[in-house]
Structure 1
Amino acid sequence: MYNTLSTQLKDGILEITINRPDKMNALNQEVMRELALVIDDIYTNPGVDSALITGSGPKAFIAGADISEFLSLSPEQGEELSKKGHTIFQRIEECTKPVVAAVNGFALGGGCELAMACHFRVASDNAKFGQPEVNLGIIPGYGGTQRLVQLVGKGKALELMMTADMIGAEEARQLGLVNHVTTPDALLDKTRELLKKIQGKAPLAIARVIKCVNAHFKHEEDGMDGFETEIVEFAACFATKDLQEGAEAFIQKRQPQFKGE
């Protein structure tokens, strides 16, 4: 179905692998087009409860964009390219199902931006993160200037983007860019373990958590009030069967069986 991606659905987890190992899994226009399609599948396929995004091979998650495609672009075409990237990565960020990045090597430029668009990140101890665009005379164009600030703070984000320095997995964890660091062999198992744990919770509540957290960062952009969003989404939980099941299971001292209703 895909030329640049491979996918596998198991236990409700859709595993998406960027599959261009000879190009260090660099993002080109075909990868972005196919990413848009597979993200649509996460939204619409009832068999998908969560998703995991990783890269093919032992060296790279995604080592950046395919720079050869940039050389012939006009400013207008550059704007269109950036808009498409923003749309796709925002779809990941706003997905009501958990999407986690399993970063298995270099996550640079657009690769770092894709990882940051996911709800959180698990990294192998050989992973490297960076936004080196200024080395090429450009800036991050797929949301990196905004999400890096959100995750590591203004000062460190500016330093990383202006120096183009790479950081290792452990420093990324200390900064809050990464949640967990594992060995390369344990990376996918750790990510699956976290997703399976989340899948055991109430799916409508998980979706509302994502919406409320995203609302915190959208206040200046479109006037959303995170506190008001929380009140609205908290109230909406009381119309769900999942809340009834969760409360009854707690009282009865048993595991809840959520149905997303």
Structure 2
Amino acid sequence: MLNRPTLNLLGKLARRYSQNAKDYELVVEYLKGDHVGIAVIGMNRPEQKNALSIRLLEDLNKAVDKLIFENVARVLVLRSFVPGSFCAGADLKERAVMTPKEVQNAVRNIRSFVNKMVNVPFPVLTALDGVALGGGLEIALATDIRVATTNTKLGLVETKLAIMPGAGGTQLLPRLLNPSVAKELIFTAKILNGKQAKELGLVNHVVEQNKNGDAAYLKSLEIAEEILPNGPLGIKMAKQAINKGVEVDFSTGLAIEEACYSQLIPTKDRTEGLEAFKEKRRPVYLGH
């Protein structure tokens, strides 16, 4: 686990990097040293509270595609460099001047990105240091682990605008919560704080915000650090088995689990794990 001085250093480096990257709407970092394998994607549209514009969505797609193609990252942390805002949802100013066809395409593109996030082959954590509404929350729901702060504000608020969640919210939320609870949250457009979200099971962890506004990010790094030593292929297959298994009956789920497990038996990482256990040393997994 990351110790506190290391976490503070990483936080300072991230904040310094964001200060030097004000011209960029998206910042991608690869952590170094003992933390190689952790990639960080940070949204950086302060005036728009990270609202999902066409450009920002294109940048997010390219960044995630690059991480998947490179096959170097073992864990991804999605965060914001804008204090108080993770993502305010769709860019409504941009949306207001679109034709109905353009709106349909814009929503479809966000939905496609959310689907991509669900299927990223390695763990994805979301640091919710601030407001996450509409499409912003839908992106967070598509990730594997969510960390919020006590003052985080979360909600699928589309019905306030006489529309509905259109980027996966109606499918993801009922998979996380009791469908009746999900319906109530969507029908009422209720906004939850971090503690309420944790009580419902919407987020994995809730922490007190710090003076730098990155407490959820630092907690996410702690969790990422706990994931790093484990076999990346085992994690990849476990994620695939879980994602596909929750959509089918139990017997079919067991068949999916068997199929995923069978792919791990001939791997070098599995042999390395057994040898390391026998030799009482830390395994070195290479993803082979």
Q: CA RMSD in A?
A: 1.9
Match of residue 95 from structure 1: 120
The answer to whether residue 219 in structure 2 is matched with residue 194 in structure 1 is no
Cα distance, 1:214 vs structure 2: 1.0
Assess if the C-alpha contact under 8 Å between 1:25 and 1:56 holds in 2.
no
Is 1:237 matched with 2:264? yes
Distance (whole Å) between structure 2 residues aligned to residue 230 and residue 27 of structure 1: 36
SS in 1 for 2:163: coil
Q: Which amino acid aligns with 1:204?
A: L
1:192-237, CA deviations, whole angstroms, 9 ceiling, x for partnerless residues? Answer: 11112111100001100111111024449xxx94322111111111
What is the percent sequence identity of the aligned residues?
A: 33
Paired residue for 2:199? 174
Cross-structure match for 1:135:
160
Alignment partner of 1:7: what SS?
strand
The secondary structure found in structure 1 opposite 2:102 is helix
Pick the aligned partner of 2:60 from 35, 42, 54.
35
The residue type paired with residue 73 of structure 2 is: V
Are 1:255 and 2:255 counterparts?
A: no
Q: Distance in 2 between matches of 1:47 and 1:247?
A: 24
Measure how far apart 1:86 and its partner are. 1.9
Structure-1 residue corresponding to 2:240: 211
CA drift of 1:88 comes to: 1.1
What amino acid is the match of 2:163?
Answer: I
Output the CA distance in 1 between the equivalents of 2:110 and 2:217: 26
Cα distance, 1:85 vs structure 2: 1.5
Aligned residues: 258
Asked if the contact 2:43–2:82 (Cα under 8 Å) also holds between the matched residues in 1, the reply is no
Q: Does 1:47 align with 2:76?
A: no
Q: What is the CA-CA distance between 1:74 and the residue it aligns to?
A: 4.3
1:108 CA displacement: 0.5
Aligned-partner residue type, residue 244 of structure 2: A
- For 2:148, give the aligned amino acid: A
Conserved 8 A contact 1:107-1:129: yes
Question: Per-residue deviation at 1:139?
Answer: 0.7
Matched, 1:59 2:84: yes
CA contact (8 A) 2:41 2:79 kept: yes
1:23 Cα deviation from its structure 2 partner:
1.1
Residue by residue, what CA displacement relative to the aligned partner does 1:82-114 show, whole Å, maximum 9, x if unpaired?
321122111111111111100001110011001
Separation of aligned partners in 2, 1:40 and 1:4: 17
Distance apart, 1:51 and its partner CA: 1.1
1:231 and 1:76 map into 2 onto residues whose CA distance is: 44
Counterpart of 2:133 in structure 1: which amino acid?
L
CA gap 1:217/1:78 in 2 versus in 1, 3 angstroms: farther
Once the 2 structures are TM-superposed, how far is the Cα of residue 33 of structure 1 from its aligned partner? Answer: 0.6
Inter-partner Cα distance in structure 2 for 1:251 and 1:140: 51
Say whether 1:226 aligns with 2:253: yes
Distance 2:273 2:159 in 1: 50
Aligned counterparts of 1:104 and 1:206: Cα–Cα separation in 2 = 26
Take 1:79 and 1:229, find their aligned partners in 2: how far apart are those partners? Answer: 35
Report the AA paired with residue 30 of structure 2.
L
> Which residue in 2 is equivalent to 1:3?
24
CA distance in 1, matches of 2:254, 2:111: 25
User: In structure 2, what is the Cα distance between the partners aligned to 1:106 and 1:29?
Assistant: 20
The one-letter code matched in structure 2 to 1:44 is: F
Shift, 1:145, TM fit: 0.8
Q: 2:144 aligns with which of 99, 110, 119?
A: 119
Query: 95-104 or 182-191, which moves further after superposition?
Result: 182-191
State the shift of 1:253 in Å.
2.7
Q: Is the 8 A contact 2:128 2:217 kept in 1?
A: no
Confirm or deny that 1:23 pairs with 2:48.
yes
Q: Are 1:101 and 1:120, in contact at CA under 8 Å, matched by a contact in 2?
A: yes
2:42–2:80 contact (8 Å) kept in structure 1:
yes
Q: CA deviation at 1:143?
A: 0.4
- Alpha-carbon distance between aligned partners in 1 of 2:140 and 2:50, rounded to the nearest angstrom: 13
Residue number in structure 1 paired with 2:9: none
